[in-house]
Structure 1
Amino acid sequence: MIRRFGKPPSPSQNYIRRMGAYALLPRDSRLLVTCQSDPDPDYQLPGGGVDPGESPVAALHREVFEETGWRIADPRRIGAFRRFAYMPEYDLWAEKICLVYLARPTLRLGPPSEPRHSAHWVAAHEAAQMLGNAGDRHFAGLWAKTA
């Protein structure tokens, strides 16, 4: 059973299952996070959906680069969670299965290529409070306790 964060699913709503891969990217006592500015600023762990035929690790590398401009190394899965949410960019109600990895940011190649995203280094304890969803905050908080 994968732990759920956020609101329970509505029995009257149909949800499409969407797999995603997300990263805790530590350096010293900070985490690299992404801010999606539209429709409102929302800080998130870098990552996103796994495309058909793509492995979660390949999706993680792609999404982190698109959202932060950084390359990563040594991803290691540390957990998973699920949440039920409306995804306005797809006009879709989704059961999001979020695989969480710990990885090493190795090289910044430029700014994020994903529109309306910016990358930020944030103190781990601050990230554990400011991230936009409870699952991200949970995993950032676990890492902050060890930093």
Structure 2
Amino acid sequence: MMRRFGEPPESGRTYTLRTGAYAILPVGDGLLLTHQEAPEPEVQLPGGGVDPGESPVQALIREVFEETGWRIARPTRLGAYRRFTYMPEYDLWAEKLCLIYMALPVVQYGDPIEPDHTALWMSIPEAAETLANTGDRDFVLRFASRNSVFQKRG
């Protein structure tokens, strides 16, 4: 059974399945993230919804570019989780199927083209405390624990 993060689904409410692809983007000892100003200011893993006719990897490449201005290489799927949430920008109650990838940011072409998004760099510990949703935080911590460069140096 797939892990669920966040609030459980509300009894009697209809949810629309929304598949999205999101990236952990390591460089050095930090991560490339995105800050979204609206509808609520929050730090997120770059990524978003898979459009009709698009593969999750195609969506990931497009969304990371739109939200950060960076092109990525070598996306590798790490896993997936579900969360049930209201998406005010779509006026939609969604069952989000979040596909998490690791990829390498290789070239920055400019600022994000998606409105209200800003690219930012953050350390793993800071990201683990700052990311808006618990599923993203869990994947970042698990990724860091498997990659010695991110483990605390004593």
Q: After TM superposition, is the score higher than 0.5? A: yes
Tell me how far 1:8 sits from its aligned partner. Answer: 0.2
Structure number with larger C-alpha Rg:
2
Q: Secondary structure at the match of 1:8?
A: coil
Runs of at least 5 residues in structure 2 that lack an aligned partner in the other structure = none
Contact 1:124 1:143 in 2 (8 A): no
Q: Counterpart of 1:93 in structure 2: which amino acid?
A: W
Tell me how far 1:144 sits from its aligned partner. Answer: 2.7
Superposition CA RMSD, Å: 0.7
Contact 1:18 1:49 in 2 (8 A): yes
Q: Which residue of 1 aligns with 2:53?
A: 53
Contact 2:39 2:88 in 1 (8 A): no
Q: Which residue of 1 aligns with 2:114?
A: 114
Q: Which residue of 1 aligns with 2:11?
A: 11
Contact 2:39 2:89 in 1 (8 A): no
Q: Secondary structure at the match of 1:135?
A: helix
- Equivalent residues in 2 for 1:1-147 (5 A)? 1-145=1-145, 146=147, 147=150
Q: Per-residue CA shift, 1:13-52, capped at 9, x if unaligned?
A: 1000000000000001100110101133100000000001
Runs of at least 5 residues in structure 1 that lack an aligned partner in the other structure = none
Which runs of at least 4 in structure 1 moved beyond 2 Å after TM superposition?
143-146
Q: TM-score when scaled to structure 1?
A: 0.98
Q: TM-score when scaled to structure 2?
A: 0.93
Contact 1:2 1:80 in 2 (8 A): yes
| More divergent stretch after superposition (91-100 vs 37-46) | 37-46
Contact 2:44 2:131 in 1 (8 A): yes
Matched pairs, number: 147
